Chain A
Amino acid sequence: MEASKVIHAIYTDDDVLMSAVKKVKAEKHHIEEIYTPFPVHGLDKAMGLAPTRIAITAFMYGLVGLTVAIVMMNFIMIEDWPQNIGGKPSFSYIENMPAFVPIMFELTVFFAAHLMVITFYLRSRMWPFKEAENPDPRTTDDHFLMEIAVHGNENELESLLKETGAVEVNLVDKAH
């Protein structure tokens, strides 16, 4: 069961936030989420997030694009109607391959880039008309927010967070 109560600790400096994350991790509390207005270098490492595998997906999408380009042009230019166009050798794919390389390259990049972006949108649940999940609008400007689940230990947590330099610590009922 998800915790229905969470603590929101708000910081105004990314360095303070980083040291706070390390302290909270050392005390073995689970950080649900951190909201920042900009990428904080090293935050994912400090939180212990698993590295992204999106580059691996992009590589595979690129291979798909390359395959699509080869199969498509082999069918159209070599198998279906091997015309003599300006004396280019259309007897086999390999003989005419230099002419196909620009398309092979572009489709590789096209598939790798677009499918990777779509993968990113799907995995991070972003789409038009999506309702923003922002707990505090200040986090898009100049505040940093750390969300920690509460399991009846709010007092202990509150004092710990105050100690780490939080400018505000709020106990929030999370409506599910």
Chain B
Amino acid sequence: MYTFSNKLKTFSFILMILGALGVGYGFLTSHKSLEEVKTMLAEEASHHGGGHAEEATHAVADTHAEKGHEAAAHVTDAHHGDKHAKHVQHQIHNRPWSALYVAAFFFMMIALGILAFYAIQIASQAGWSPVLFRVMEGMTAYLLPGALIVVAIAMFSGDHIFVWMNENMTNPDHADYDKLVAGKSGWLNKTGFLIRALIFIGGWSLYRHFSRKFSIAQDTAEDKSNFKKSFRIAAGFLVFFIYTESMMSWDWIMSVDPHWFSTLFGWYVFASMFVSGITVLALITLYLKSKGQLEFVNENHLHDVAKFMFAFSIFWTYLWFSQFMLIWYSNIPEEVTYFVTRFQDYKLPFLGMVVMNFVFPILMLMNADYKRIPWFVVMAGLVILAGHYIDIFNMIMPATVGDRWFIGIPEISSVLLFAGLFIFIVFTALTKAPLLVKGYPFRKESEEFHY
């Protein structure tokens, strides 16, 4: 049995407290009145005229200069000033909400990705991975609380993240009326959103609950009936998962831009969650192994996990590029604005994540020998994880905060908060059962697995 070391527990509490303080700070500082926003914009505009050379020495010179430039163009336009200031005020209000939502979704998707991976391992009767099942089961413990938090943030934030949650958008008599959003209100409405979310979470959690139950029952069982049951529900879950995951990505992510749609978006989000899940699996496995808890896991298992990290990084890139290139090539205005805003205001994160999620892993993890070296996999894994955080960041932020983005206190604290929660829940779950599945039919093969 694994015991949650006090050091790690304290560490996770520190993360949560620091994160909560930072999130609170983010909300306190985001409440700016319209007057404050106007003075801020005027300052930025004058800043632009005066100190260009000074700014160049600043660490974030580029983004500052760009912001200043845009603000200047807008503010000089006198009758536009008020509307623009209101727009900016809204974006500033949105920032802590979006930061919280991005981080909550990021950690939820790690748990969901590994749940799908776990089901695939069982349904395909993989012979290498049973020694890692308990680590995967521990990680999926975060799914239920994590997904509920995501939905709670979405519902509480209202139109701070999802503009279509603003009731006035479907009211033809109101100034905020939006014909396109109103046309989609059959799907995009709060009640439907909540019901669908509960169905998704309910289905995933049920599978998680029963697969865990059968897995533990198989440890002491005399026959293989629990294994057979877990095989059957894994196959059923995978069908359910691929539908609900796709719809979840429309609801929870794509609808932040309710004017835009993409058909392969569900797959794209899936690739992101799958590769992040497998990367975290590698990191937790290596951590537990370094503590001497998983002596039956050897570098051959690590090699296979790293192969998945490598292959699904490429799969992610394939989908990212397919989505981007099809829209770039045909250049239809209603679709292409999505990438135009990302290219104008998010150049560094948008292109940087391709380097972190593709170029880096393909070069680092191509060599078979490197995939067997723990510190190498950890380094590559941390870069991949950071890259996929930025991926989610790029999906949400341009729609909510626009060019007012920055990875500062609200964003980093939100990550810390959920990282602490994730560590606490996952490692608590790991203490609940032995770290090696006992009665699983492929256990022996997995223990002796070598590549």
Give, as a whole number of angstroms, the nearest-CB distance from B358 to chain A: 12
Whether the pair B366, A98 counts as a contact (CB closer than 8 A) is no
Interface check A59, CB cutoff 8 A? yes
Whether the pair A59, B366 counts as a contact (CB closer than 8 A) is yes
Interface check B442, CB cutoff 8 A? no
Whether the pair A87, B331 counts as a contact (CB closer than 8 A) is yes
Whether the pair B366, A101 counts as a contact (CB closer than 8 A) is no
Interface check A16, CB cutoff 8 A? no
Which residues of A have CB within 8 Å of B329?
98-99
Give, as a whole number of angstroms, the nearest-CB distance from A43 to chain B: 16
Q: What 0/1 pattern do residues 318 to 329 of B give for CB contact below 8 A with A? A: 000100110011
Which residues of A have CB within 8 Å of B368?
55
Which residues of B have CB within 8 Å of A55?
368
Whether the pair B331, A101 counts as a contact (CB closer than 8 A) is no
Q: What 0/1 pattern do residues 85 to 99 of A give for CB contact below 8 A with B? A: 001000000000011
Interface residues in B87-105 (C-beta closer than 8 Å to A):
none
Whether the pair B328, A98 counts as a contact (CB closer than 8 A) is yes
The secondary-structure label for the interface of chain A is helix
Whether the pair A98, B325 counts as a contact (CB closer than 8 A) is yes
Bound together, the chains give a CA A59 to CA B329 distance in angstroms of: 30
Give the interface residue-count category, chain A: under 10
- The total of Cβ contacts below 8 Å across the A-B interface reads 12
Bound together, the chains give a CA A73 to CA B324 distance in angstroms of: 21
Bound together, the chains give a CA A59 to CA B325 distance in angstroms of: 26
Which residues of B have CB within 8 Å of A98?
321, 324-325, 328-329
Interface residues in A42-84 (C-beta closer than 8 Å to B):
55, 59
Q: What 0/1 pattern do residues 115 to 155 of A give for CB contact below 8 A with B? A: 00000000000000000000000000000000000000000
Which residue of chain B has the shortest Cβ distance to A98 in the bound complex? B325
Bound together, the chains give a CA A163 to CA B300 distance in angstroms of: 35
Which residue of chain A has the shortest Cβ distance to B326 in the bound complex? A98
Which residue of chain B has the shortest Cβ distance to A102 in the bound complex? B325
Bound together, the chains give a CA A101 to CA B358 distance in angstroms of: 14
Which residues of B have CB within 8 Å of A99?
325, 329
Which residues of B have CB within 8 Å of A87?
331
Interface residues in B324-381 (C-beta closer than 8 Å to A):
324-325, 328-329, 331, 366, 368
Which residue of chain B has the shortest Cβ distance to A59 in the bound complex? B366
Bound together, the chains give a CA A110 to CA B104 distance in angstroms of: 43
Bound together, the chains give a CA A18 to CA B325 distance in angstroms of: 53
Bound together, the chains give a CA A98 to CA B327 distance in angstroms of: 11
Which residue of chain B has the shortest Cβ distance to A99 in the bound complex? B329
Bound together, the chains give a CA A98 to CA B368 distance in angstroms of: 30
Give, as a whole number of angstroms, the nearest-CB distance from A99 to chain B: 6
Which residue of chain A has the shortest Cβ distance to B331 in the bound complex? A87
Bound together, the chains give a CA A50 to CA B366 distance in angstroms of: 20
Which residue of chain A has the shortest Cβ distance to B328 in the bound complex? A98
Bound together, the chains give a CA A158 to CA B241 distance in angstroms of: 64
Which residues of B have CB within 8 Å of A59?
366
Bound together, the chains give a CA A59 to CA B368 distance in angstroms of: 13
Bound together, the chains give a CA A5 to CA B366 distance in angstroms of: 45
Which residue of chain B has the shortest Cβ distance to A56 in the bound complex? B367
Give, as a whole number of angstroms, the nearest-CB distance from B33 to chain A: 43
Bound together, the chains give a CA A10 to CA B331 distance in angstroms of: 68
Give, as a whole number of angstroms, the nearest-CB distance from B350 to chain A: 13
Which residues of A have CB within 8 Å of B324?
98
Bound together, the chains give a CA A98 to CA B320 distance in angstroms of: 12
Interface residues in A5-61 (C-beta closer than 8 Å to B):
55, 59
Which residues of A have CB within 8 Å of B321?
98, 101
Bound together, the chains give a CA A55 to CA B371 distance in angstroms of: 15
Give, as a whole number of angstroms, the nearest-CB distance from A116 to chain B: 15
Give, as a whole number of angstroms, the nearest-CB distance from A41 to chain B: 10
Bound together, the chains give a CA A98 to CA B328 distance in angstroms of: 8
Bound together, the chains give a CA A99 to CA B325 distance in angstroms of: 7
Interface residues in B295-333 (C-beta closer than 8 Å to A):
321, 324-325, 328-329, 331
Bound together, the chains give a CA A98 to CA B325 distance in angstroms of: 6
Give, as a whole number of angstroms, the nearest-CB distance from B281 to chain A: 26
Which residues of A have CB within 8 Å of B331?
87
Bound together, the chains give a CA A121 to CA B271 distance in angstroms of: 38
Bound together, the chains give a CA A87 to CA B368 distance in angstroms of: 44
Bound together, the chains give a CA A59 to CA B367 distance in angstroms of: 10
Give, as a whole number of angstroms, the nearest-CB distance from B63 to chain A: 21
Bound together, the chains give a CA A87 to CA B331 distance in angstroms of: 10
Which residues of A have CB within 8 Å of B325?
98-99, 101
Which residue of chain B has the shortest Cβ distance to A87 in the bound complex? B331
Give, as a whole number of angstroms, the nearest-CB distance from A67 to chain B: 16
Which residue of chain A has the shortest Cβ distance to B366 in the bound complex? A59
Give, as a whole number of angstroms, the nearest-CB distance from B338 to chain A: 15
Bound together, the chains give a CA A101 to CA B322 distance in angstroms of: 10
Give, as a whole number of angstroms, the nearest-CB distance from A42 to chain B: 10
Bound together, the chains give a CA A101 to CA B331 distance in angstroms of: 17
Q: What 0/1 pattern do residues 11 to 53 of B give for CB contact below 8 A with A? A: 0000000000000000000000000000000000000000000
Give, as a whole number of angstroms, the nearest-CB distance from B322 to chain A: 10
Bound together, the chains give a CA A99 to CA B331 distance in angstroms of: 12
Bound together, the chains give a CA A90 to CA B282 distance in angstroms of: 44
Which residues of A have CB within 8 Å of B328?
98
Bound together, the chains give a CA A101 to CA B317 distance in angstroms of: 12
Which residue of chain A has the shortest Cβ distance to B369 in the bound complex? A51
Bound together, the chains give a CA A71 to CA B325 distance in angstroms of: 21
Give, as a whole number of angstroms, the nearest-CB distance from B94 to chain A: 31
What would 8 more interface pairs be, CB under 8 Å, given A98-B321, A101-B321, A101-B325? A59-B366, A87-B331, A98-B324, A98-B325, A98-B328, A98-B329, A99-B325, A99-B329
* 10 residue pairs bridging A and B, Cβ less than 8 Å apart: A55-B368, A87-B331, A98-B321, A98-B324, A98-B328, A98-B329, A99-B325, A99-B329, A101-B321, A101-B325
List the 3 closest pairs (A to B, CB-CB), nearest first. A98-B325, A98-B328, A99-B329
